[in-house]
Amino acid sequence: MITITRLFDFPYYQLEKNNIPDCFVTKYNGEWVKTSTQEYIDKSNTISRALLRLGVNKNDKIAIITSANRTEWNIMDIGSLQVGAQTVPIYPTIAPEDYQYILNHSESKYCFVSDKVVFDKLNSIKQNVPSLQKVFSFDEIEGCNNWKELLELGADTTNQDVVEDRKNNVKPEELATIIYTSGTTGRPKGVMLSHNNIVSNVLDSAPRIPFKEGTSKALSFLPICHIFERVILYIYQYYSVSVYFAESIDKLTVNLKEVHPNVMTVVPRLLEKVYDSIHAKGTDLKGIKKLLFLWAVTLGLKYKPYGENGWFYEKQLAIARKLIFSKWKEGLGGNLEVMVCGSAALQHRLSRIFAAANIPVMEGYGLTETSPVISVNDMRNGLFRVGTVGKLIKNVEVKIAEDGEILCKGPNVMMGYYKDETLTNEVIKEGYFHTGDIGEFDADGFLKITDRKKEMFKTSGGKYIAPQLIENRMKQSFFMEQVMVIGDGEKMPAAFIQPNFGFVREWAHRHGFEITGTNEELIANPKVIERFQQEVDHANEKFGNWEKVKRFELTPDVWSIEAGHLTPTLKLRRKIVKEKYQHLYDKIYNS
């Protein structure tokens, strides 16, 4: 039996156990096309031979940018790693200048793109990337080399012995991939992960996911360039799970009903959308049907695992599952047994309601720098607890620093940040990675995330938000005196704004109307609100769609040191400001 020590060992391990006909399945022109384990390996070897003929050396970097997950990504990944090169996955929706920065910083020699949208973006900056020798596309695109040229170039097997030699010389501790994450300064950081970092994380977290080896089916749609989905794909290969790639987020509902998966990974924002959609349809019902729906939801929101609510609750739950929740499950394909959730904090109500509906969500915790899994829930063996991110996986050690910060040590901790030893030394001290998150263990060893040490936060869709950057941009407006961006764990960023009251009154006078009343009356004036919307829209132009402030509320008082809004050095007391305006927060997010 093959011992897995490098990432490209996974497909060979699967072949030895199960040559499954639908290892990967992608839809082309409306038809699902299956790739078997053997085909996956054969094509990966073909790519390896072609890369050798292109002159790819050990430690060369190969970038991959795809709009949607697809079989080709995995073939390129294995084909590149086998020759000792490293893959650089890039998020498709980032700005062209970020493409340029990452490609230059990594000194990528080749880049593989999925479609014309990505190709056009790349083409706009390609001349500014001197290391880039050629671009290949997976789709047929006019003016772009197609990846099938490599399948032809590598068809001749006479240099397979060189591929084998390259494979044998790849050590587990060597660099496998560089994953760029957004930094607070706006420049992405290149996280260096070795084969052993990721392999250890796959093997140590795999036992937490309940699979029927060789018979389970997965639907994959979270971006594969993110370490979370990538590690899950290696876990699928380890368990011989058939992987179907969703066409897009818009077609997810259709694909669920076509594929009938047993498992998929999710982010909280998706679950929020699913729940909101179900709830809206339920509340539109009439009479007894509506009453039954609301009864089931009320019951589900009180869910506790392992019969903790007692026999009467369990009896009611069985009825609710039969009458109401079975339809939820049907809407998600009918066979979904578990959803693995990561990337941002999951609302407790969603954890309870989906578990009640017999589609449990197993929330986990980790960072790109930890490959990524540190802990994860598991419905089996009493390892699931609502409001926690589960127990630590094997071989990973966590200690809580004096200030509450979560420190992580183990084979999953990154090699460091690419070309940035200073930053590496700031976050890895005495072997422990400093996560920047505040947490604690409960009495039974379940890890809870209680706060963010740093001000940066994630929306429920898993997108990082650097509030200070947005606040500073917004405060360039004469209309705004103070701004605090909010939205940790919510579906979108929003803001509390303290107007520059004197300037607003002056502006009103210049435009032919007077605001002589109180500040409360000023912030309620429709013309004022409309003008602030223009200012917010203008500030938003500088940011990616996920960073844009979607809603805001004006506050009637002047933020001050005396009132507790600000520290003596005029920094925002974020927790206090949020508490002061909790009613506005609830209004924004309809809490």
Tens digit of pLDDT for each residue in 254-297? 999 999 999 999 988 688 778 878 987 888 899 999 999 999 99
**Whole-number pLDDT of residue 266:** 92
Give me the mean pLDDT over the 148-164 stretch: 98
Using one digit for the tens of pLDDT, what is the confidence trace for 530-554? 999 999 999 999 888 999 999 999 9
Give me the mean pLDDT over the 76-98 stretch: 93
Give me the mean pLDDT over the 437-466 stretch: 85
Give residue 374's pLDDT band: very low, low, confident or very high (50, 70, 90). very high
**Whole-number pLDDT of residue 453:** 65
**Whole-number pLDDT of residue 456:** 75
CA distances from 290 to 145, 283, 284, 350 (A): 57, 6, 7, 20
| Beta-bridge partner residues of 464 | 458
Mean pLDDT value across the chain: 93
**Whole-number pLDDT of residue 183:** 47
Give me the mean pLDDT over the 495-511 stretch: 91
**Whole-number pLDDT of residue 315:** 98
**Whole-number pLDDT of residue 146:** 98
Give me the mean pLDDT over the 374-378 stretch: 97
**Whole-number pLDDT of residue 2:** 94
For the cut 70, the answer to whether the pLDDT of residue 569 exceeds it is no
**Whole-number pLDDT of residue 184:** 38
Domain architecture of the chain: domains with CATH: 9-170+212-261 (3.40.50.12780), 265-454 (3.40.50.12780), 465-588 (3.30.300.30)
> What is the distance between the alpha carbons of residues 250 and 241, in angstroms, rounded to a whole number?
24
Which amino acid appears at position 258 of this protein? E
| Beta-bridge partner residues of 136 | 112, 145
More confident residue, 516 or 4: 4
Q: What angle do CA 202, 203, 209 make, to 5 degrees?
A: 75
Phi, psi dihedral angles at 63 (to 5 degrees): -90, 145
Cis peptide leading into residue 372 (ω within 30°): yes
**Whole-number pLDDT of residue 564:** 79
**Whole-number pLDDT of residue 457:** 84
Give me the mean pLDDT over the 209-236 stretch: 92
Phi, psi dihedral angles at 434 (to 5 degrees): -90, 110
Give me the mean pLDDT over the 567-584 stretch: 80
Single out the residue of 389, 307, 309 nearest to residue 341, CA to CA: 389
Report field, pTM of the whole predicted structure over 0.85: no
Do 347 and 268 contact (CB within 8 A), yes or no?
yes
For the cut 70, the answer to whether the pLDDT of residue 508 exceeds it is yes
Give residue 568's pLDDT band: very low, low, confident or very high (50, 70, 90). very low
